[in-house]
């Protein structure tokens, strides 16, 4: 936002002007709240005209919120990129339309808005898939009729929440969709409702106007590219019978698996990442997954303590501290063991993508060690070029298999999904 003038008098001006809220009105008369603002440029010209530029992290259109604590919503509706194709929920009667086209004389379009699909995540949160439809206008002389659908994900907490708390939920939903769609997913439209802005239409009837919410999303251009269901790992149809179970699992395990989510989706949302960076991110994600889901020790705690005590008792006192520090993580399994554990636990699916487990594990360990330490002795054993790309792709699929398992898919389901995806060229 560029201002001719400034919010602060020159005599009171100091650098770092960061107003939480700025209120205004758009050219078409809509109330606007700029939230989390800061001044990015300020200048003064002779004879003293002050101009400034303000950046707002969030723009709220449709209401004035005078205080930060007032920016709370009872629900949020988000239209994500690709979600229409992912759900494939529609109110159009396709059979009637195709039959009408075949007759070539009478064209019949029948539309019935689909019922929302609701899921209870926990006692404090519900999530729904809701189809919104823009219906045609009716005129005296009808020249056209258009019905346009958009699928939204509604977030409905038990009580009103600050906007910041919705970001966390949106992040998890976005990642959930990204795993199924196998591509970056971004919010394209966000609206919120709050009972604090209740409008009385007539006696006994009220209306809660929707507030449009905008913020900057990086790489949004990728979200406009069409992705069909054929190029997705799984769709809503694959989980429709147990949607609540799957979304609940995703949220319940978010605390434990957050580092895994961050590392995996970091590679998905950064397709230009160098292959060796992607490899390291994925191998770190797999190590983190094993540490949180599987046995993260080689010896039982009591047995390990006895072993460490015996070693330290045999070490000269001046080296005890150094040896103790070196042995701090000695009871954790090495990467080789972690990979073997995961491959064994997911063997029913993994064996369809990895022919030789031993070679895969050895090559992965050598490559990780070389790319981490750059020991010249490992260079010849580490993967490079096309081999590194192929190894990285397989690590990505291995991690996806693990995430699908945590999501609630059975081994047979996962095998079917990955086989279908490979047949369509979605996986390597």
**What's the pLDDT band for 181 if we cut at 50, 70, 90?**
very high
Give the dihedral sign, CA 288/389/355/337. Answer: negative
Q: How many of the other CB atoms lie within 10 Å of CB of 190?
A: 22
Enclosing domain of residue 386: 257-296+332-423
Do residues 207 and 355 both lie within one domain?
no
DSSP state letters, 302-326: HHHHHHHHHHHHTS-HHHHHHHHHH
Residue 417 lies in a domain: yes
* 8 A C-beta contact, residue 190 and residue 211: no
Q: How many of the other CB atoms lie within 10 Å of CB of 379?
A: 11
**What's the pLDDT band for 381 if we cut at 50, 70, 90?**
very high
Residue 170 lies in a domain: yes
pLDDT the model gives residue 39: 82
What percent of the chain stands above pLDDT 90? 59
Q: Strand 148-157 and strand 187-193: pairing?
A: unpaired
**Phi and psi, residue 314, nearest 5°:** -90, -5
**C-alpha to C-alpha distance for 153 and 89, rounded to whole angstroms:** 12
103: which residues sit within 8 A by CB, 6+ positions away? none
Query: From residue 385, how far is each of 35, 275, 282, 306, 388 by CA, in Å?
Result: 47, 9, 17, 46, 5
pLDDT tens string 46-85: 666 777 788 899 999 999 999 999 999 999 999 999 999 9
**What's the pLDDT band for 397 if we cut at 50, 70, 90?**
very high
Residue 288 lies in a domain: yes
* 8 A C-beta contact, residue 418 and residue 409: no
**C-alpha to C-alpha distance for 214 and 32, rounded to whole angstroms:** 11
pLDDT the model gives residue 96: 60
> Is the pLDDT score of 31 beyond 90?
yes
Residue 268 lies in a domain: yes
* 8 A C-beta contact, residue 41 and residue 53: yes
pLDDT the model gives residue 6: 63
In the chain, the number of structural domains is 3
Residue recorded with tokens 């003293």: 48
311: which residues sit within 8 A by CB, 6+ positions away? 323, 327
The stretch 158-186 carries a mean pLDDT of 95
Residue 302 lies in a domain: no
**C-alpha to C-alpha distance for 113 and 150, rounded to whole angstroms:** 11
pLDDT the model gives residue 75: 95
Do residues 82 and 170 both lie within one domain?
yes
> Is the pLDDT score of 124 beyond 70?
yes
The stretch 393-413 carries a mean pLDDT of 95
User: Residue 54 in 3-state DSSP?
Assistant: strand
DSSP state letters, 254-274: HHHHHHHHHHHHHHHT-TTS-
> Is the pLDDT score of 153 beyond 90?
yes
**What's the pLDDT band for 105 if we cut at 50, 70, 90?**
low
Do residues 350 and 372 both lie within one domain?
yes
Environment class of residue 69 by beta-carbon count within 10 Å: exposed (0-12), middle (13-18) or buried (19+)?
exposed
Do residues 159 and 281 both lie within one domain?
no
The two structure tokens encoding residue 45: 């010209």
pLDDT the model gives residue 43: 72
pLDDT tens string 292-347: 999 887 778 888 788 888 888 888 888 888 888 888 878 788 999 999 999 999 99
Do residues 82 and 15 both lie within one domain?
no
> Is the pLDDT score of 8 beyond 80?
no
**C-alpha to C-alpha distance for 264 and 284, rounded to whole angstroms:** 9
What percent of the chain stands above pLDDT 70? 89
- Omega of the bond prior to 47 within 30 degrees of 0, cis? yes
Average pLDDT value over all residues in the chain:
87
* 8 A C-beta contact, residue 287 and residue 398: no
Residue 317 lies in a domain: no
The stretch 260-281 carries a mean pLDDT of 94
Residue 321 lies in a domain: no
């Amino acid at each position: 936002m560029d201002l001719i003038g400034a919010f602060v008098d020159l005599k009171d001006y100091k650098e770092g002007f960061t107003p939480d809220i700025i209120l205004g009105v758009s050219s078409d008369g809509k109330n606007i709240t700029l939230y989390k603002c800061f001044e990015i440029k300020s200048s003064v010209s002779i004879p003293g005209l002050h101009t400034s530029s303000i950046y707002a992290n969030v723009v709220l259109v449709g209401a004035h919120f005078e205080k930060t604590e007032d920016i709370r919503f009872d629900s949020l509706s988000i239209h994500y990129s690709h979600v229409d194709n992912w759900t494939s929920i529609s109110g159009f009667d396709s059979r009637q339309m195709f039959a009408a086209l075949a007759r070539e004389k009478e064209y019949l379009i029948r539309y019935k808005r689909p019922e929302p699909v609701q899921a209870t995540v926990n006692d404090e949160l519900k999530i729904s898939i809701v189809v919104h439809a823009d219906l045609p206008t009716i005129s005296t002389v009808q020249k056209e009729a258009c019905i346009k659908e958009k699928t939204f994900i509604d977030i409905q907490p038990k009580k009103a929440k600050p906007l910041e708390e919705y970001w966390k939920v949106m992040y998890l939903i976005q990642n959930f969709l990204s795993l199924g769609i196998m591509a970056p997913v971004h919010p394209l439209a966000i609206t919120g409702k709050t009972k604090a802005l209740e409008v009385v239409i007539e006696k006994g009837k009220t209306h809660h106007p929707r507030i449009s919410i905008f913020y900057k999303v990086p790489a949004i251009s990728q979200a406009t590219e069409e992705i069909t269901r054929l190029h997705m790992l799984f769709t809503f149809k694959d989980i429709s019978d147990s949607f609540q179970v799957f979304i609940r699992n995703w949220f319940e395990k978010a605390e434990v698996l957050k580092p895994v989510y961050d590392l995996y989706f970091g590679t998905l949302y950064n397709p230009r990442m160098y292959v060796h960076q992607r490899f390291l991110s994925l191998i770190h994600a797999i190590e983190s997954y094993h540490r949180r889901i599987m046995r993260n020790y080689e010896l039982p705690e009591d047995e390990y303590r006895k072993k460490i005590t015996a070693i330290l008792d045999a070490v000269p006192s001046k080296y005890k501290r150094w040896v103790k520090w070196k042995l701090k993580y000695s009871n954790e399994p090495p990467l080789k063991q972690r990979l073997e554990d995961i491959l064994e636990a997911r063997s029913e699916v993994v064996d369809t993508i990895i022919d030789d487990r031993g070679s895969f594990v050895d090559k992965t360990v050598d490559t990780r060690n070389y790319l981490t330490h750059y020991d010249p002795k490992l260079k010849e054993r580490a993967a490079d070029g096309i081999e590194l790309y192929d190894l990285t792709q397989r690590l990505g699929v291995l991690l996806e298999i693990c995430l699908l398992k945590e999501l609630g898919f059975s081994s047979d389901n996962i095998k079917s999904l990955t086989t279908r995806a490979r047949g369509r060229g979605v996986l390597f």
